[in-house]
Chains A and B, each alone.
Chain A
Amino acid sequence: MAKKNRMANEINAGSMADIAFLLLIFFLVTTTIAEDKGVLVKLPPFSNDPPPELKLNTRNVYSVLVNAQNQLLVRGEQMDIAKLKSNTKIFIANPQKLENMAVSPKDAIISLKNDRGTKYGTYLEVYNELKAAYNELWDEASMVKFGKGFEEISADKQKEIKEEIPLILSEAEPTKFGDEK
């Protein structure tokens, strides 16, 4: 009698949920939703010949040096990273038409140079600030022209603005100071 009774019992599925939850939590912990984001960069093609000597008007060149002590030298003067973006923007846009800044945004060239001993974190921070300066300028330009943020306008319009304010960032070969111990 007792045996028959047990047979009729259903398997308790109540714990199934717990097991599944356990599995779920295991997967949540072990996997990473890969957030692959980063600063996009385009490198110049490699050539063995030394780059051609360009006669550039010094007023158009914004030279940024990052040394092995992670200090910043911008156009011969030391600068704080926090001020880099705003100063770069002023240099490119040159709202007061100063003699020592870019003739027009089209002519502005950013030259970035680092030592071999520069920390990558600092380098990327500087690169990021320079890019941020351009992104903000693009944003402002598109606001004036189209009344919308740079991200919201169509690709053609973005191109139009980028032609007006082109991002020209030249990276020099790093100097051999303070290489890894």
Chain B
Amino acid sequence: MSKFKKKQGNTTPGISTASLPDIVFMLLFFFMVVTKMRDTELMVTVNTPQASEMTKLEKKTLVNFIFIGRPTEKYTKQVGTKPRIQLGDKFSTTDDIPLFLAKHRESVPEGQKQSIISSLKVDKDVTMGIVGDVKTSLRKAGQLKLNYSAKQRERTK
């Protein structure tokens, strides 16, 4: 007869995983708040070029986006393959830019209107003709702060 009895019922219980869902939900909510769902469907293909001298766009509400690129496959039947401008969720021409800017300007609180930035998301294979036209009409509309959207790369040696 052994003196030491095998201890029973005192083994370490398994770690409770009951709080795991809570943790994961917390993560989930974090990501839902931090990330931004793509609100507008991109109707043009935009593959931005690379650049090294970047400035971050701080306040999202002060930024309006202008997309320029060739229409995606879905739309080539309707509008062809020539590079197009997309404002909001529709194809536009340079004539629509002043109205688009005015609409955005209205949503910006007074006092911050001079810090509105237009972000140009332009495909790298688009020619400068259309970009120049957009630039001219932005200048005519008094929108002088521009941001050429690009991907980060290292500065060349």
Contact B128 A120 (CB under 8 A): yes
In the complex, how many residues of chain B place their beta carbon closer than 8 angstroms to a beta carbon of chain A? 60
Among B49, B55, B155, contact of A125 (Cβ-Cβ < 8 Å): B49
Which of B87-95, B102-110, B119-127 participates in binding chain A? B119-127
Which of B2-10, B71-79, B137-145 participates in binding chain A? B137-145
**CB of B26, distance to nearest CB on chain A (Å):** 9
> CA of A127 to CA of B60 in the docked complex: distance in angstroms?
25
For residue B155, which residues in chain A have a CB less than 8 angstroms away from its CB? 132, 135-136
Contact B148 A41 (CB under 8 A): yes
In the complex, which residues 130-157 of chain B have their Cβ closer than 8 Å to any Cβ of chain A? 130-132, 135-136, 138-140, 142, 144-150, 152, 155-156
> CA of A87 to CA of B32 in the docked complex: distance in angstroms?
48
Decide if B34 is an interface residue (CB 8 Å cutoff): yes
Contact B35 A33 (CB under 8 A): yes
Decide if B21 is an interface residue (CB 8 Å cutoff): yes
Closest to A133 in B: B53
Decide if B18 is an interface residue (CB 8 Å cutoff): yes
Contact A39 B34 (CB under 8 A): no
Among B28, B124, B129, B139, contact of A20 (Cβ-Cβ < 8 Å): B28
Decide if A40 is an interface residue (CB 8 Å cutoff): yes
The 10 closest A-B CB pairs, nearest first, are A121-B124, A116-B129, A31-B35, A20-B24, A46-B139, A16-B21, A40-B55, A36-B57, A17-B20, A38-B149
Interface residues of A (CB under 8 A from B): 13-14, 16-17, 19-21, 23-24, 27-28, 30-46, 68, 82, 85, 114-121, 123-125, 127-129, 131-132, 135-136, 173-174, 176, 178-180
Interchain Cβ contacts under 8 Å between A and B, 26 examples: A17-B21, A24-B24, A24-B27, A27-B28, A27-B32, A34-B35, A36-B57, A37-B150, A38-B54, A38-B55, A38-B120, A39-B53, A41-B145, A42-B144, A42-B146, A44-B139, A116-B128, A120-B49, A120-B126, A120-B128, A125-B50, A125-B51, A128-B150, A174-B128, A180-B82, A180-B129
Interface residues of B (CB under 8 A from A): 17-18, 20-21, 24-25, 27-28, 31-32, 34-38, 48-57, 60, 63, 68, 82-83, 117, 119-120, 122-132, 135-136, 138-140, 142, 144-150, 152, 155-156
